[in-house]
Chain A
């Protein structure tokens, strides 16, 4: 970001709801099925068909509203009319001036708060692909349409223009994704399009200036693209203004390969949607009892999960910067229950967190299915020195593949057994004798000398192929040095 400028960002996030069926008909809501196999008269817009609202979709929309601290209000549905074949009806059913959720907020891990203006329900469109000469949108000869996605329930979450950097926008997208997954509303898969982000970006010279003219950026397929596109777009707008030109309000398309945004349409081409109340649907008026019942089904939100782990660390002395990163990783991967149950079983929070963030996280899908009792048993063995850290990691890899098992038996099968004190002591002695210069410096102590403990530990580990317990080696080295 160029000095002397501030960017202002608002995000619109479309989230596909994790229902069994579509928003207004009983067709399966299923990604990746063969084209046009999940269609019926309603989602094909055939004459005489009538939409009926999916109760589960409403409840997931209310769950999102609750998780985002919104007011949940009586709402209505409108027809948004436009001429484009991704809706066979030539209109999309959406909530317009009376959305179900309004006036919420999302707190980000850095402590900042982003306002949520609204989170409304609407139906997704069909999928168009553009065939022909170039395969690109412009220059294609015709289009092919698959209506499987047409009518899939969506919630569109519109933030306030509260973000001031691409990093903050990325953090918002990440935290929102975690909240959507935690609320059970979405699988949060950006790569499958179940979460899609559009960014509104403008720039200004001072926080006291009014907002500049904004551009909307579409086609952001990852959190990384979001950050890159915002940076590019802010620089483009600043260059325009500094050259004495003006920013024209328009919708722009992010070209990931070229790393730039290009004009899609200007404000003059803005669609005239001619919204009117959908006469085939009646108002949705959730009562307090229903809203409360949905709130009761909500899982723990990511912010609460992070606080829970930080509290465990603080109970045993405090949380370092790198441990806070581990907390974020573990909660992001939804592995925090493993840590909590291990600590409840007597393992130190530092060890449980480190193994989970560094090793279990490598195969998070398997780790989420892992038997917590087996995990606890393994970490207990490591803490007691029955297996070394290296051995514990090897057993964990096996546990993850199998989904559970008896870590003691698995360690034994691998030939992992704690080295006897005698055998450990003789290995340490051999290593020391082989490196008299280093040993001499180690014995001198001081900051430089003490660092050589790692050198000797490494040699012992190599000689024992990881079987030695690192702590036991350190103790033996100190004993030989004379305390």
Chain B
């Protein structure tokens, strides 16, 4: 039985399914342990008294990083499509997608 709030094997299976990763039982056990340790480490923050501390959105205290709305040359299409495993009609050909875009 997992500790309350601790990452479970089911959580890892769910996240793997979302990413379309097929994990074996052994891999699920391995990653559940590893990921739980990472999250335990991160959750140490929860033991601190953070009342009055504003949430941090970025590691650096920087805002409004912007660029002008000017066109810059992109990549050559043949070069781009040359990297793809499958191409048809100048488009990336991908496996059939069940359902519609989210």
Contacts and interface: CB of A to CB of B under 8 A. Distances in A.
Given A144-B92, A145-B92, A52 B66 contact: yes
B89 interface: yes
B72 A37 contact: no
Contacts of A35: 89-91
A191 interface: no
Interface residues of B, number: 40
Interface stretch (A81-89, A163-171, A207-215): A81-89
Interface residues of A, number: 64
B2 interface: no
A5 interface: no
A interface secondary structure, majority: loop
Interface in B40-65: 57-60, 62-65
Interface string B52-93: 000001111011111111111111010011000000111111
A54 B65 CA distance: 9
Interface in A178-193: none
Contact of B65 (A41, A53, A146): A53
Nearest to B92: A145
Contacts of A61: none
Interface in A259-281: 264-265, 269, 271-274, 277, 279, 281
A141 B96 contact: yes
A265 B97 CA distance: 14
Interface in A287-331: none
Contact of B94 (A28, A132, A142): A142
A83 B98 CA distance: 11
A354 to B, nearest CB: 41
Nearest to A137: B100
A36 B91 contact: yes
A48 B79 CA distance: 18
Interface string A102-138: 0000000000000000000000010011111000010
B22 interface: no
Given A85-B97, A137-B100, A264-B100, A53 B72 contact: no
B90 A54 contact: no
B87 to A, nearest CB: 9
A21 B70 contact: yes
Q: Which 9 A-B pairs have the closest CB atoms?
A: A26-B72, A56-B69, A40-B74, A144-B91, A55-B66, A285-B63, A145-B92, A35-B90, A52-B67
12 contacts: A19-B69, A25-B74, A36-B91, A40-B75, A55-B69, A58-B66, A125-B101, A131-B88, A218-B100, A264-B99, A277-B57, A283-B64
